[in-house]
Structure 1
Amino acid sequence: MSPSEVPSRGDDFNLIKARARYANGVNGTANAPLPHLMEALYSESVVAKIWSIASKALSSSKPPILYPEYTDNDGTYVYRTLDFWTSGFFPGSMYLLLERLIRHPQSILGSESTDNHSTPRPHRLQLEHLCRWWTTNLHQNSLKRDTHDLGFMIAPWAMRAWELQRDAAAYNSLVMAAHSLASRFNVTTQCLRSWDVCITNRYSYTDPSQDFLVIIDNMLNLDLLFWELYKIALAHARTTQKHHIRDDHSTFHVVNLDADTGSVKAKFTNQGFSDSSCWARGQAWGIMGFMQTFEWTQEASFLTTARDLADYFIAQLPLDGVPYWDFTAPVTDASPRDTSAAMVAACGMLLLHKALKDAPDGDFYLFEAMKLVDCTVARFLTPPTARFITVPSTSDVLVYPSGCIDGRDGDGFDKISVINESSTKVCETIMQGATINNYEFAPRRWSNHGLVYADYYFLLFGNMLLDLGLIGTTGC
């Protein structure tokens, strides 16, 4: 798309101020915080935190069936069973590190120690083994037809397993998952059913024959469908574009359709503040989902929709740059933030930059994406105190001839481990400050915790910067 084809913007006052900050920043010191951000994105601690969780399964007799989701008050991961919708994100994070190691090896623990020995790090074969070990039991999820979340459950790891290693099992699971997801498509509504049932302390939808529930989150499952079943993915994107977006470019969380007529029965929230408010992560899902759709289709309307949603997101950010869990909820000292919304939105804005890099607004979205992650890191990055060490082998082996190996190299059976240099317990996630659900009528409310997909999209953001060749061109 050429710059002349890019639609003009009808900016509101907050967005105008954001653009003014961008203009001043480009000519001033906007890039000053970026070295700190680069250090956070590619630090040894980030890799060590993922490894410390993953390596727990190294000595297990069977592949994992439990997967980390969120952290408790002590910062310790709480796990969910393999059929839960977030199961694909932690293995996806491992594959993101493998992708860095293969495509951008300079980004993985690039520093050298003073004795000319490399910083200890897991061997590529160990990481490849754990990637496959953690995903062995996830292939079966591709057969599930009772959920719309197959894109989250399968794509984060299987797409990279295929792209990086031509893993045939991953390819088969991607194809099967796409067909399983497509089974939820309704010709009349022209979209996929998200939930079969939905129960809160305020409402209850328990009869799928009467209600066809579609959530904005479903846009992120379309990448899987576009890969295999293009027309169904396109139809769902158009239906979401029609029903989920308000005139002010904020989004509804849930739309209930009549399966027989396709008409709208109700629009409401399940995780935001109210039916008329804008749930921040839902807005972020929309930004990235419509940008992924644009990348597949090159239809200008999807690019325009993604820009509208991103502009709304940017305009609603507080002064410290970190989104609250809902953009239109009353703000108090106790109002939770949502770092997962920040990370997802930032990834979507990078896709906007990629699409608009030759247009005037392209660098604006890059600036806002970097600023959003930088502000979030400044406030909610867990202390980068994890690092790798080599644990000498406790066994002695006879070696002939004497002196054939450097004593500093050990006997070949030394182990790699992770230590925390802090004297206090540190959260097991990379980021804190996420909010799963703060809806007052939700059966359970979670906020102010670490969250596996906040970390996943944080790592994805770093990989996207590398893939787009932006490291070294953004003031770093």
Structure 2
Amino acid sequence: MYKQVYILLSLQKVMLIAIPVILFACNSNVNKKMTNDDLLAYCAAQAKATANSDDTDNNMPVVIDSGKTAWTKNNIYNWRSGFWPGIEWYLYESTKDEYWKKAAEKSTEKLVGVIDTIVANHDLGFQFYCSYGNGYRLTGNPAYKKVLLRAADSLAKLFNPNVGTILSWPSRVKEKGWPHNTIIDNMMNLELLFWAAKNGGSKNLYDIAVKHAETTMKNHFRPDFSTYHVLVYDTATGQVIKGVTHQGYADNSMWARGQAWAIYGFTMAYRETKNKEFLQTAINAVEIYLKRLPKDKIPYWDFDDPTIPYAPRDASAAAITASALIELSTLCTDSLSAKKYLIAAKDMLTELATDKYLSKEKNHAFLLFSTGNKPSNKDVEVPIIYADYYFIEALLRMKKYQ
């Protein structure tokens, strides 16, 4: 037995299609009675313990180590520092409970010191758009807008016009001998620039974001539309020196989270620009991802790990992709593609909502089995904060269409 609902999607503003979506297929691992609202309530309950124990220093939850219950925390300069405040803002959006608003404000405002330092990486989008961005969207707090505009200006300082992309990791220029390095993850940070250009920032911020996406579209994809993790460029000529990996299995392998960043990033870039090449790039990246997924829709950490089916899984890649596919389904002009991508997203969320992946009483996270950096044997098949962030984002996006 399964529960079926129909989701109406507006396509090209001229037609509506009714899409049947399986919410939770019956098997021994499935929470048969958990609706989307149930899952959002579950997230709030899980997060309460972390919020109640929030300390007064500038540390943020990032990962739950194997065998532990509570989150290990890093300081605000860690690239993952914006996800916990973002989760709290999403919980406020979901519950309308002032408790979460106050908690989110407290966590968000810890981050302001990050933009008063030398720009050390491209992750200002993750840090500020997930936190201050959601906060401004939900409250209109003018102080948040000022911080976001400052963060966007700081991020833009890493743009190299000779190359046409934002430098991802300044520290690895000397450390790795990568003169100008750009990682596929960087597509996610363009949303901060797009937002700033529409909200009082320089028009140049929009141009930088578009140029970065165009250059990435041209160079970062292999012929089969899998992505390199890192591209190394010559700073003077802008020519590609090489494509390598940092967190994937091999330089030419398809690292699951990297492919998820590409799907999400180019979907967002199309939404902001209406450049049809960006839409097609997102679709191309999706198609190879879906084609190579295992039957349960949760990817192994790298699609080319030779130890599959015994390789670690990455629930974070599934959550990121599910959230992206929900949005992509609303942007596609082809009704069959829209239906396909929405159902694929629902299938991913359905599997993540099983006892296998929900943390429940095991710890304070939403999801188990995300993989951060397998080559370094760091954060392998454990709860990671960005998995929870994109999981609740996907639930909220799905709710808009139910």
**Bucket of the pairwise TM-score, normalised by the shorter protein:** 0.7 to 0.9
Contact 1:86 1:152 in 2 (8 A): yes
Superposed, 1:61-210 pairs within 5 Å as 62=56, 64-76=57-69, 77-102=71-96, 124-144=97-117, 145-198=119-172, 205-206=174-175
Contact 1:357 1:363 in 2 (8 A): no
Identical pairs, percent: 30
| Alpha-carbon separation, structure 2, partners of 1:47 and 1:176 | 31
- Residue from 373, 396, 401 that aligns with 1:463: 396
* Residue 450 of structure 1, CA deviation: 0.4
Superposed, 1:301-450 pairs within 5 Å as 301-332=277-308, 334-356=310-332, 359-378=335-354, 380-385=356-361, 426-439=362-375, 442=376, 444-450=377-383
| Alpha-carbon separation, structure 2, partners of 1:224 and 1:39 | 28
| Alpha-carbon separation, structure 2, partners of 1:372 and 1:168 | 37
* Residue 192 of structure 1, CA deviation: 0.3
Contact 2:359 2:365 in 1 (8 A): no
Query: Match for 1:52: what amino acid?
Result: A
Partner secondary structure for residue 190 of structure 2: helix
| Structure 2 alignment gaps of length 5 or more | 1-9, 13-18, 27-31, 197-204
Contact 2:92 2:98 in 1 (8 A): no
* Residue 233 of structure 1, CA deviation: 0.4
Contact 1:75 1:449 in 2 (8 A): no
Partner secondary structure for residue 318 of structure 1: coil
Partner secondary structure for residue 181 of structure 2: strand
Superposed CA RMSD in Å reads: 2.2
Q: Give CA-to-partner distance per residue, 1:342-395, whole Å, 9 cap, x none.
A: 00011111111010266321011000011112123325433545xxxxxxxxxx
Contact 2:36 2:395 in 1 (8 A): no
Superposed, 1:259-278 pairs within 5 Å as 259-278=235-254
Q: So what's the TM-score if we normalise by structure 2?
A: 0.87
Partner secondary structure for residue 366 of structure 2: coil
Q: So what's the TM-score if we normalise by structure 1?
A: 0.74
| Alpha-carbon separation, structure 1, partners of 2:79 and 2:359 | 28
| Structure 1 alignment gaps of length 5 or more | 4-25, 103-123, 199-203, 386-425, 472-476
| Alpha-carbon separation, structure 1, partners of 2:395 and 2:90 | 9
| Alpha-carbon separation, structure 1, partners of 2:186 and 2:354 | 30
Which protein shows a greater Rg?
1
Label 1:333 to 1:316 Cα distance change in 2 as closer, same or farther (>3 A).
closer
| Alpha-carbon separation, structure 1, partners of 2:40 and 2:149 | 35
Instruction: Name whichever of 126-135 and 220-229 sits farther off.
Output: 126-135
Contact 2:253 2:302 in 1 (8 A): yes
* Residue 149 of structure 1, CA deviation: 0.1
* Residue 334 of structure 1, CA deviation: 3.7
| Alpha-carbon separation, structure 2, partners of 1:178 and 1:258 | 25
How many residues align? The count is 372
| Alpha-carbon separation, structure 2, partners of 1:177 and 1:280 | 28
Label 1:150 to 1:334 Cα distance change in 2 as closer, same or farther (>3 A).
same
Contact 2:299 2:318 in 1 (8 A): yes
Label 1:318 to 1:379 Cα distance change in 2 as closer, same or farther (>3 A).
farther
| Alpha-carbon separation, structure 1, partners of 2:287 and 2:73 | 35
Partner secondary structure for residue 365 of structure 2: coil
Match of 1:33 in 2: 25
| Alpha-carbon separation, structure 2, partners of 1:85 and 1:153 | 6
- Residue from 216, 219, 222 that aligns with 2:190: 222
